Amino acid sequence: MTTATPVRSDQPDGSPAPDAGPGRVRAGVFDPKQLWTSLPDALRKLDPRVMAKSPVMFVVEIGSVLTTVLAIAHPGAWFGWTIAAWLWLTVIFANLAEAVAEGRGKAQADTLRKAKTDTVARRLTGDGAAEESVPGTALRVGDLVVCEAGDVIPGDGDVVEGVASVDESAITGESAPVIRESGGDRCAVTGGTKVLSDRIVVKITTRPGETFIDRMINLVEGAARQKTPNEIALNILLASLTIVFLLAVVTLQPFAVYAHAEQSMTVLVALLVCLIPTTIGALLSAIGIAGMDRLVQRNVLAMSGRAVEAAGDVSTLLLDKTGTITYGNRQATEFVPVRGTTAAEVADAAQLSSLADETPEGRSVVVLAKERFGLRERHTGELAHATWIPFTAQTRMSGVDVDGRMVRKGATGSVLAWVRERGGEVAEDAQRLTDEISQAGGTPLLVAVDDADGARVLGVIHLKDVVKNGMRERFDELRRMGIKTVMITGDNPLTAKAIAQEAGVDDFLAEATPEDKMALIKREQAGGKLVAMTGDGTNDAPALAQADVGVAMNTGTSAAKEAGNMVDLDSNPTKLIEIVEIGKQLLITRGALTTFSIANDVAKYFAIIPAMFAVAYPGLNKLNIMALHSPQSAILSAIIFNALIIVALVPLALRGVRYRPMSADRMLRRNLAIYGVGGLIAPFIGIKIIDLLITLIPGIG
């Protein structure tokens, strides 16, 4: 049966399609309606048990309760009621930022839940000869289930028998089917996806309730989000600053009494709320949730917030050549004969040895021989008496024995050794030709024959990799960010060097084995660097587990997906570069808003302190540089600004600060100039405008 060819929505340069993925909402888009729809969730978060997780906002909530009690005790004091109301709004706005961030994942979770249907599984009995129908929830790890065209796969697992076309649109958003087959790196299937053709036997690898879809639902909703180490450290810093300012405000009252300028509890609470870093305290959780959300928008599932954060600190990127740096399918472009033979002879032998080779490279050899030399495409059925020699990792060559003639094609060293073992002589220019092709960035395959004239090399097949458009520019950006790129390939060193130079990577690892990858990662980590890599096979699992950021392909094996801390649902290895950029954007956003928040406090200090003590110490009026109308309007203006700035920054927290590739020093200077200076100036302007508006209210002005 002919099946549709899988077509991924990612562009050749690795950029994601704008509308792929479950419940896709474009990243960075903020709809003001989200504030209203998330309000009920924000109100539910007023529970002190929830608020206690954020020390800064918990203090603000306690202050809100205290000022409310004081307002009730003095019902005629409009100032007390107004301060209490705006303090409650400050707490609600903080909860609203987190609720909006969490709400952005609900559409995706709802779409995924639709894929969680109660299915009936056709489980094979102990001897595998009979089937029994059982509910999908009754399946256990190790069970074998049969899935045919039209069946919904009842649970996560690996294909152990057969090949089928599978609709994974419920997971990836792609309408094009994909091929899943046993015995390779594309054997993993996900519960809830649908078999479109043929028959497969799936070995279940997860328990009910712990499937990939269940984990996705929890993660996109934020239920499983763990605070990252940097986020925890920043929370500790904010809590420490809150304690310091709390002690400062508590000790301020005795001085005020001594100066005959005793302050009300309402004013002291207002001072405390304005001095502690409420802005970043309110937005910190939303920034973390939005960082994971941006990954989901690009069809990448992060298993932990730690991985997202680590991506922002990555120093070394390990990238597979095939499919990441190059398009993946090497194509035969030329038949190069050795001295004494012709290109037509090489083409004839190469085509014959490739008839049973179903790889893209093998098919391209057959097609090139037909196009260049008019050789009829023979079929394996016409050569029923032939003995086909499959390619293996040990021999590194393949071929055919037919009509007393032995034909081989494969790696240079393997074919040369085969010719010499059979007593043949190797043409003097054979090694030179393969070296020239390798140095030009191609992959040489030697073609040899052993017939009545003896064993000999006929020539070389030139296979060529094509570097993806824009890769050199992207690697230049990474270099400006201080990130080292390493290309991983199984090619020989000469070929690897040529491709690495063309693509612009910093280093390469040729003829790489799983052990070589692990050793490279450990060397980089021993030097204090964080390492990121992609993989899809069981042999990649150890390296994925060792890497600080391990991105497993969704098309890969269950072992690879379990070992990695991220899963790319589109299975596009190039997306690792985007993941690093998203991680950096998360760190930059958090740092920028922290800078803005702390700078805000300086302006609020100039608004409240002169207002509190100007009566006792008239000289403090010189600090009233904003010329605020009265002590009460100054304090109220600062509290109102403190609440409104949280709402104003919600879109920025969700969208993230725009990332530009540059050095860390330059980025620091830029953020200090924009968010440090901006954080100083904005409150002066905002508080003054609010003060002018307050003075227009009858009874206040």
Task: Just list the catalytic residues.
Answer: 320
Burial code (b: 16+ CB inside 10 Å, e: under 16) for 248-282 equals ebeebeeebeeeeeebbebbbbbbbbbbbbbbbbb
Q: What does the alpha-carbon distance between residue 402 and residue 656 come to, in Å, rounded to a whole number?
A: 64
Give Rg (Cα) of the chain.
33
Contact 96, 38 (CB under 8 A): yes
The CA distance from 13 to 400, in Å, is 39
Q: CA 695 to CA 635: how far, in whole Å?
A: 13
d(CA 358, CA 368): 15
357 labeled part of a ligand binding site = yes
Q: How far apart are the first and last CA of the chain?
A: 83
Residue 361 assigned ligand-binding role:
yes
**Cα–Cα distances in Å, from 301 out to 22, 485, 544, 565?**
11, 23, 15, 9
Closest CA to 350 of 329, 372, 327, 328: 372
Say whether 398 counts as a known binding-site residue.
Answer: yes
d(CA 392, CA 195): 31
**Strands 131-135 and 120-124, bridge-based pairing:** antiparallel
Nearest 5°: CA angle at 485, between 484 and 486?
A: 120
**Is the distance from CB of 90 to CB of 61 less than 8 angstroms?**
no
The length of the chain, given as a count of residues: 701
**CA 682, CA 84: separation in Å to the nearest integer?**
24
| 278 carries a ligand binding annotation | no
Task: Check: CB of residue 336 under 8 Å from CB of residue 459.
Answer: yes
Residues 7 and 14: beta-carbon distance below 8 Å: no
385, containing H or E segment: none
Question: How are beta strands 507-509 and 484-488 bridged, if at all?
Answer: parallel
167 labeled part of a ligand binding site:
no
What is the rounded CA–CA span in Å between residue 367 and residue 485?
35
- The answer to whether 221 is a known ligand-binding residue is no
What are φ and ψ of residue 455, in 5° steps? -80, 135
536 labelled binding-site residue: yes
- Is 393 annotated in a binding site? The answer is yes
**Distance from CA of residue 363 to its chain's centroid?**
35
The annotation status of 432 as a binding-site residue, yes or no, is: no
Q: Where are the alpha helices (DSSP H) in 454-574?
A: 471-480, 493-503, 514-526, 541-546, 558-563
Alpha carbon 245 to its chain's center: 38
Alpha helices in 391-463 (DSSP H): 412-421, 430-439
151, two tokens: 């069946």
Residue 473 burial (CB count, 10 A)? 10
CA distance 30 to 41: 18
Q: 42 by DSSP, 3-state: which?
A: helix
Nearest to 505 by CA among 472, 480, 466: 472
478, amino acid identity: L
In the block, which residue shows the tokens 């050549």?
321
Find residue 195's DSSP bridge partners.
166
Closest among 148, 178, 163, 154 to 9, alpha carbons compared: 178
Binding site for Mg(2+): which residues? Answer: 536, 540
Which residues are part of a known binding site for ATP? 357, 361, 391-398, 409
User: Which residue positions form the known binding site?
Assistant: 357, 361, 391-398, 409, 536, 540
